Amino acid sequence: MNAARKLACVVVLTVCAVSLAANWLAPAGYAKQFREAPSAPPSRQHLLGTDEVGRDRFARILYGTRISLLLAPAAALVSTVMAALVGGLAGYLGGIWLRLARGFTDLFLSLPWLFLLIAVRALLPLNVSPLTSVLITFLILGLLGWAASARVLSTSADDLRNSDFVLQARASGLHGPRLFLVHVLPNLKPVLYAQFWISIPVFILAEANLGILGLGVAEPLPSWGSLLRELEDLISFREEPWRLVPLLLLAVVMTSFQLLLSNEEVSA
């Protein structure tokens, strides 16, 4: 691991650790309104000031980071499992199954990602509790984000199906699920890990886009999307530069993920 990747790893782990410590670092919580100090500038009480309803921005960033950073991997896990089921199995079975799966993934991939996301999000109720909105948002990301990974996995599984050791295993009498579980799936692990890690920053960005468009996590729960939405009424960067902190934090974390994902993993 080179120095840049080590640094990126430290940054991601630090941000995760700090967001997990939100309860101790910001005991007032993300929803408490300091009505005597709405839209306040940074001070000793409120390190990054308050929003227009008097909520502490620092606390909201910590809790929002926790939600975005913990649930994006959960969504990535869902999408990777789905990709393994669709792409991995289709590649292993080959023939008509592979062609069907590729046709289905092509259909999914031909739909622009953001159009698909907002369309499916709109199919579900919008007036839901904040917790339900978190679950819906990240579940949608997980359930819709599998197609690209499935395409990669189907190709890898197809290659494995025709590899010498699988042919030998077949010749030795191993068939069906056992062959898939014992010989194919373990060899797909590197591709699965790569697809899992690649999906995380994609889902973080997608949640941010949905949140800014008002289709993500519902108030008062914060997420990076809803925090970035507050930039809508920003008049000047010079007057309130502290309001750019969520954007800076997101950029730092995304850059770290980019550095963590080496070229080999991205091309896997």
Partner 1 sequence: MPRGKTLLWKIARHLAAIVALVLLGGLLSATLVRMAPGFDADERELDPSLNAESVRALRQSRAGEHNIFSFYAGYLRGAMHGDLGTSHALGQPVQSLLRERWPVTARVAGVGLLLAWLLASTLAFTACLWRLPAYETLGTAVSGAFLCIPAAVLALLSVILNAPGYLAIALIVFPKIYRYSRNLLAKSYSLPHITAARARGLGEARILAWHVLPVAGPQMIALAGITVSIALGASIPVEALCGLPGIGQLAWQAALSRDLPLLVNIMVLVTLVTLLANSGADVMTYMLKAPEEFA
**Contact residues for partner 1 (CB under 8 A)?**
106-107, 110-116, 118-126, 205, 208-209, 212-215, 225, 228, 231-232, 234-237, 247, 250-251, 254-255, 258
Query: First-to-last CA distance in the chain?
Result: 18
Coil, strand or helix: which one is 56?
strand
DSSP category for residue 21: T
Query: Closest approach of Cβ 188 to partner 1, in Å?
Result: 25
Smallest gap from residue 212 Cβ to partner 1 (A): 4
Task: Name the minimum Å distance from CB 86 to partner 1.
Answer: 15
- Residue 64 to residues 18, 103, 211, 250, Cα–Cα distance (Å): 12, 38, 11, 11
Which of 158, 207 has the CB closer to partner 1?
Answer: 207
Closest contact distance (angstroms) between CB of 99 and partner 1 is 12
**CA distances to 27, 66, 205, 260 from 6, in Å:** 31, 22, 23, 8
Q: Which is nearer to partner 1, 101 or 166 (CB)?
A: 101
Beta carbon nearer to partner 1, 75 or 184? 75
CB of 236 to partner 1, least distance (A): 8
User: Prior bond to 220 cis, omega within 30?
Assistant: yes
- 24 versus 115: smaller Cβ distance to partner 1: 115
In the bound complex, what is the minimum distance in angstroms from residue 118's beta carbon to partner 1?
A: 4
**Nearest CB to partner 1, comparing residues 174 and 254:** 254
Cβ partners under 8 Å of residue 252, min gap 6: 11, 15
3-state helix, strand, coil split of the chain in percent (to 5) is: 75, 0, 25
Residues 190, 267: contact at Cβ < 8 Å?
Answer: no
Pick 91 or 225: Cβ nearer partner 1: 225
